[in-house]
């Protein structure tokens, strides 16, 4: 039961066992936990040890047994294939049980790993839940990842089986997955025992030898598999996130804490209940897809939406409004970059006018910093609360948010409001001391991390300690910088690597991006700190112009210089602006500021596998070379 935010937050820090025991009672256990909270052999706090449950049963069978089998569990909306399908809880449970039986027929047993390398199709969700049903550990790899990156994950996870598809679709392009899969297996040291391929009609893939199976035939021949009672500390999935070494880190998620945290978050943060339609416009290859396309909404008994498309060009910048209206979405979760793309093509939301959005009650944004201009635009075009919140792959659910379930408080542009219960958030300086209100520092969370957070890195606990716990012993290092204002509101200003040191002044790129993005000609921007022989670093603004805007670069540059000088100060030394055709981003929408900085400075850099389009870097480099911002590096 939710009381008040202040009371629950205080209890979660002062009496964590009591608080999380109460939240654990909101899900159904086959056996109640023996220990709510204890440290494991590595000294890591673990939650609900000895408790028995099954995540897939919580997400599916439980609702069927409660009489909600005919409720729609999953809406599949694919504008790229002109398909809309609705799958009930009963239908989804039956398919998951069949696919789980297919995995058993391939000798997959509890604890075995299964890699899922698929596009946004129902079978990807079914595959995840089928693994959870039998206690196999799934690792979803974003569909279309390069062969080398997939091979690295194959070697790290050593899967017994890989579940894949013949192709994915990006706008109008068909992306063949099978050649990428074949090459990844060829170069990987570990060889899976079997591959199952979902054949899509727009491009079928040749199957080679007895190791490869056609999905439709494999599923049809399978027997229904029963669910397995699992311990709360058993692993549910591995999800790889980028590491500073270039080698991905396998974030491990366990069963019990994950289920309790997500179930709590659906009501407390997102304001949803049984039967509500919830849409997270992400991909199952990312943590948002795991937590809030698949597990969170289904555990809660919502209807979740699986969208195969883009915010623009599928077919236009009105597709989000169409989906929201057609499916009567109550809570919508999306990255700010999606709305910047919509705003660029349809700044006055002409395409929204013919859609009834009366069912929409809350808009949540995360995945990158919500810049105030985008926040203000969303507030102008939508008559619902725009709620910024912040979290990470490692935590699995939000660290900071304005929490619907407790009653919304005042929103402040640029802030994800307050820490969520369970997260004892601090801002520390370089010496590990808590900074004063308004002062920038490193954002950390005091141990213990709440349920749902990672307990280790798959196969490399030393790396877990080194990456997250060594810099400030007793504190989880988020890697983000930020501050809290005098009222306790949290402001996340970006990765610590995005902080510049300009003539001794520690300045946030996010702070300047707020100012640059406020210019009426600017659709999107990035500020990076580039090397300067006199001041250490100076900021460089890279901007995209709104469609139809015609302004001289020199005029725009002078106006932006004056805006930054007025809002940030002359000490910021913001003196250079470049208009670029596109900004390099990951597929989840994060701008690759560190890569840009390294490229401009002439330092070695690695193009991440998650980049949306590698050609964008070449386009930006060409502009910067023409303007004399960077030199040709031999």
Q: pTM of the prediction?
A: 0.88
Residue 373 has pLDDT above 50, yes or no: yes
Tokens of 381: 């075009």
- Per CATH, the homologous superfamily of domain 5-482 is ANL, N-terminal domain (3.40.50.12780)
Q: Please tell me whether residue 244 adopts helix, strand or coil conformation.
A: coil
Q: Write the pLDDT tens digit of every residue in 171-196.
A: 889 999 999 999 999 999 999 999 99
Residue 261, pLDDT > 70, answer yes
Q: Is the pLDDT of residue 209 over 60?
A: yes
Q: Break the chain into its structural domains and give their ranges.
A: 5-482, 504-626
Instruction: Give the pLDDT confidence of 329-339 residue by residue, as tens digits.
Output: 999 999 888 99
Residue 139's DSSP bridge partners are 115
pLDDT confidence band for 633 (50 / 70 / 90): low
Average pLDDT over residues 518-529: 94
- For the chain, give me the number of helices (H) and strands (E)? 20, 31
What are the pLDDT digits (tens) for 492-503?
987 777 778 787
What does the DSSP 8-state code read for residue 31? B
The Cα-based distances of 104 to 165, 280, 531 in angstroms read 20, 31, 56
- Encode pLDDT of 91-147 as tens digits: 999 999 999 999 999 999 999 999 999 999 999 999 999 999 999 999 999 887 788
Whether 236 and 258 have beta carbons less than 8 Å apart is answered as yes
Multiple choice CATH, 504-626, 2.60.40.2550, 3.40.50.300, 3.90.950.10, 3.30.300.30: 3.30.300.30
Burial class (CB in 10 A: 0-12, 13-18, 19+), 175: middle
> Among 74, 72, 185, which Cα is nearest to 120's?
74
Q: How far is CA 331 from the centre of its chain?
A: 17
What pairs with residue 542 in β-bridges? 526, 578
């Amino acid at each position: 039961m939710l009381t008040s935010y202040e009371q629950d937050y205080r209890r979660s820090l002062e009496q964590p066992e009591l608080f999380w025991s109460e939240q654990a009672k909101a899900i159904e256990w086959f056996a109640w936990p023996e220990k709510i909270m204890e440290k494991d052999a590595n000294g890591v706090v673990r939650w609900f040890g000895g408790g028995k449950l099954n995540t897939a049963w919580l997400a599916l069978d439980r609702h069927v047994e409660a009489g909600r089998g005919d409720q729609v569990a999953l809406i599949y909306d694919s504008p790229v294939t002109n398909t809309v399908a609705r799958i009930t809880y009963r239908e989804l449970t039956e398919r998951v049980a069949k696919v789980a039986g297919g995995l058993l027929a391939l000798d997959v047993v509890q604890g075995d790993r299964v890699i899922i390398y698929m596009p946004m199709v129902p079978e990807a969700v079914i595959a995840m839940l089928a693994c959870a049903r039998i206690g196999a550990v799934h690792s979803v790899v974003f569909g279309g990842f390069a062969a080398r990156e997939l091979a690295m994950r194959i070697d790290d996870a050593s899967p017994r089986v890989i579940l894949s598809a013949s192709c994915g679709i990006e706008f109008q392009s068909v992306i063949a997955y099978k050649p990428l899969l074949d090459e990844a297996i060829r170069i990987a040291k570990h060889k899976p025992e079997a591959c199952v391929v979902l054949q899509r009609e727009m491009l079928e893939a040749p199957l080679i030898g007895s190791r490869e199976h056609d999905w439709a035939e494999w599923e049809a021949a399978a027997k229904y598999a029963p669910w397995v009672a699992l311990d709360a500390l058993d692993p549910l999935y591995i999800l790889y996130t980028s590491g500073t070494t270039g080698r991905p880190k396998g974030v491990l998620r366990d069963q019990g804490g994950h289920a309790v945290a997500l179930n709590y978050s659906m009501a407390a943060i997102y304001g949803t209940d049984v039967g509500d339609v919830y849409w997270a416009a992400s991909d199952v290859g990312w943590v948002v897809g795991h937590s809030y396309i698949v597990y969170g909404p289904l555990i809660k008994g919502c209807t979740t939406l699986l969208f195969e498309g883009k915010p623009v060009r599928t077919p236009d910048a009105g597709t989000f409004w169409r989906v929201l209206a057609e499916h009567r979405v109550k809570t919508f979760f999306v990255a700010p970059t999606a709305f910047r793309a919509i705003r660029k093509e349809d700044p006055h939301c002409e395409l929204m006018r013919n859609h009834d959005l009366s069912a929409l009650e809350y808009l949540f944004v995360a995945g990158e910093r919500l810049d105030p201009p985008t926040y203000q635009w969303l507030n102008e075009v939508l008559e619902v609360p725009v709620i910024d919140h912040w979290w990470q792959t490692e935590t699995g659910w939000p660290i900071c948010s304005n929490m619907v379930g407790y009653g919304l408080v005042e929103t402040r542009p640029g802030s994800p409001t307050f820490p969520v219960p369970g997260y004892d958030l601090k801002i520390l300086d370089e010496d590990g001391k808590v900074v004063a209100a308004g002062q920038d520092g490193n954002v950390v969370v005091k141990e213990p991390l709440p349920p749902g957070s990672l307990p280790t890195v798959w196969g490399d606990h030393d790396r877990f300690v080194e990456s997250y716990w060594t810099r400030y012993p007793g504190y989880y290092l988020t890697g983000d910088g930020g501050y809290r204002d005098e009222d306790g509101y949290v402001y996340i200003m970006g990765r610590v690597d995005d902080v510049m040191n300009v003539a001794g002044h520690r300045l946030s790129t996010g702070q300047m991006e707020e100012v640059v993005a406020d210019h009426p000609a600017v659709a999107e921007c990035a500020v990076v700190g580039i090397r300067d022989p006199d001041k250490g670093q100076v900021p460089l603004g890279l901007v995209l112009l709104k469609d139809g805007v015609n302004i001289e670069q020199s005029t725009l540059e002078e106006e932006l210089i004056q805006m930054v000088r007025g809002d940030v100060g002359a000490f910021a030394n913001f003196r250079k602006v470049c208009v670029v055709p596109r900004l390099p981003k990951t597929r989840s929408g994060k701008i690759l500021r560190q890569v840009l900085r390294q490229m401009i400075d002439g330092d070695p850099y690695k193009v991440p596998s998650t980049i949306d389009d590698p050609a964008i870097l070449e386009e930006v480099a060409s502009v910067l070379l023409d303007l004399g911002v960077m030199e040709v590096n031999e």
